Amino acid sequence: MLRSLKIILSTTKHLPSCCCSGFVSRTRYVNWLKEDDEACLAALENGHIFLFHHLHPLLQRTKTGTLRPAALISSDLQSVLERLGSDRSLMKESVLLGCSEQNQALFCLDVGELDQATVEEECTGNFMDLGKSLFLLTGEEVPLLVKVYSQGQALLRWHQTSRFCSATGQLTQRNQAGSQRVCSSNGIVYYPKMSPVVIVLVSDGKRCLLVRQSSFPRGMYSALAGFCDMGESLEEALCREVAEEVGLEVQSVSYSSSQHWPFPHSSFMLGCHATVSPAHTQLQVDHAELEDARWFSSEEINSALKVKTPPRRGDPPILWLPPKQAIAHRLITEWMEQQKLTSGL
């Protein structure tokens, strides 16, 4: 019944003559499904669905105890819903995520109205907190899993919190793909929103600055991050956040990469590196925002990058970094590689 992502991505699917292989055709195919409700319903009948329960994704444990993604074929999910006594119309609440390289349509669906334990038994999986699962996932499928489940959770949350028009208070109606909602009163169209967040790894040339919040897992430090204010550029937001939270003045900024992040409510992470003067590195931590902020040497970072599992209760304290799927980990890795090049290692 359950399919792994690897199987899904190898599935061959017949498509309309207007679609063919390649990035452009896949992009146009997904766009077509967003614009044509009937086409989207037809794709749903032959699609694969990733299940959520109150925004917690369904994962499956392998025989070795590791976690892997799981999806249901549309026909299998319909059978599950029938056995659970649910209205099959629940299927129509599925939200389009995209398609595989073979143009297999991928959807997500929150079945929070059903009993969690019963669904887990039927699907031989478990619904898990997405944030916690990021630290437990392994294997080559992880990057794709994170993308699919992060996108799914963000879209499902947006639909749950956008049922009413902010201008009229009237109900909004979604299209079949779930890519927009329209006010039933005045036709205002709403699209899923992301909040821009700058995340920056600050360095004084030989050390990098990492911070932690009280909500972080024990021992974990990450790059400094903050929401962009209205009217700010990326660079302005970065400089302001560094000044506000640790009392440092940025000298230079370089862009690294970006990432969608579903926490806390769908963020668009803009990753950067920044430098400060080695003569002005005294930290003035805003403890209303941060629990701690520290400079770390390349030796400390190199050791932390080798830590494979989070520390357990009772273990000696160690520096623990964000999971590899997080952009903060990428920034730290990039900085470490630069340090190796600079030192000639």
Residues 27 and 154 in one domain: yes
pLDDT at 319: 92
Which among 157, 191, 144, 112 is positioned nearest to 263, based on CA atoms? 157
Note whether residue 48 is domain-resident. yes
Residues 10 and 142 in one domain: yes
DSSP state of 220: B
DSSP state of 143: H
Whether 36 shows a pLDDT value over 70: the answer reads yes
Whether 232 shows a pLDDT value over 70: the answer reads yes
Which amino acid would we find at residue 78? Q
Residues 72 and 12 in one domain: yes
pLDDT at 5: 47
Residues 230 and 311 in one domain: yes
DSSP string, 30-89: HHHHHH-HHHHHHHHHT-EEEEEETTEEEEEE-TTS-EEE-EEEHHHHHHHHHHTT--GG
How many whole angstroms separate alpha carbon 32 and alpha carbon 40?
8
Q: What is the pLDDT of residues 64-87, one digit of tens each?
A: 767 777 889 999 999 999 999 887
Confidence of residue 204 (pLDDT cuts 50, 70, 90): very high
Query: Average pLDDT of 194-199?
Result: 96
Residues 221 and 335 in one domain: yes
Note whether residue 178 is domain-resident. no
How many whole angstroms separate alpha carbon 180 and alpha carbon 159?
9
Note whether residue 185 is domain-resident. no
pLDDT at 234: 96
Where does a domain end: 113, 135, 161? 161
Residues 261 and 157 in one domain: no
pLDDT at 99: 92
Where does a domain end: 136, 161, 186? 161
Whether 200 shows a pLDDT value over 70: the answer reads yes
pLDDT at 117: 95
Note whether residue 204 is domain-resident. yes
> φ and ψ at 137, to 5 degrees?
-80, 145
In this prediction the pTM is 0.86
Confidence of residue 345 (pLDDT cuts 50, 70, 90): low
More confident residue, 161 or 146: 161
Hey, is 332 helix, strand or coil?
A: helix
Note whether residue 177 is domain-resident. no
- 177-185, long-range: CB < 8 A, 24+ apart: 177/33, 177/34, 177/37, 177/40, 177/95, 177/96, 178/94, 178/95, 178/96, 179/34, 179/96, 180/34
Q: What total number of domains does the chain contain?
A: 2
Query: Average pLDDT of 222-235?
Result: 96
Q: Which residue matches tokens 């600079």?
A: 342
Q: What is the pLDDT of residues 238-289, one digit of tens each?
A: 999 999 999 999 999 999 999 999 888 899 999 999 999 999 999 999 999 9
Note whether residue 175 is domain-resident. no
Note whether residue 251 is domain-resident. yes
Residues 325 and 265 in one domain: yes
Residues 154 and 204 in one domain: no
**What's 219's domain CATH number?**
3.90.79.10
pLDDT at 246: 98
Whether 195 shows a pLDDT value over 50: the answer reads yes
Note whether residue 155 is domain-resident. yes
Whether 344 shows a pLDDT value over 70: the answer reads no
Residues 153 and 254 in one domain: no
pLDDT at 265: 85
Could you give the residue ranges of the DSSP H alpha helices within 162-255? 234-246
More confident residue, 104 or 332: 332
**Secondary element (H or E) of residue 66:** none
Residues 8 and 156 in one domain: yes
Whether 329 shows a pLDDT value over 70: the answer reads yes
Q: Which residues contact 53 (CB under 8 A, 6 or more apart)?
A: 110, 111, 112, 114, 116, 119, 127
| Number of other CB atoms surrounding residue 288 within 10 Å | 6
pLDDT at 287: 96
User: Structural domain of residue 6, as residue ranges?
Assistant: 2-161
58, β-bridge pairs: 127
Q: What is the pLDDT of residues 292-319, one digit of tens each?
A: 999 999 999 999 999 877 777 777 778 9
Residues 116 and 212 in one domain: no
Compute the mean pLDDT over every residue in the chain, rounded to the nearest whole number: 89
Residues 214 and 313 in one domain: yes
Hey, is 72 helix, strand or coil?
A: strand
Q: Which residues contact 268 (CB under 8 A, 6 or more apart)?
A: 194, 195, 196, 197, 258, 259, 260, 261
Which among 266, 287, 284 is positioned nearest to 214, based on CA atoms? 287
Q: What is the pLDDT of residues 84-133, one digit of tens each?
A: 988 778 999 999 999 988 888 999 999 999 999 999 999 989 999 988 77
How many whole angstroms separate alpha carbon 331 and alpha carbon 319?
16
pLDDT at 18: 46
Structural contact between residues 208 and 276, judged by C-beta atoms closer than 8 angstroms: no
pLDDT at 4: 47
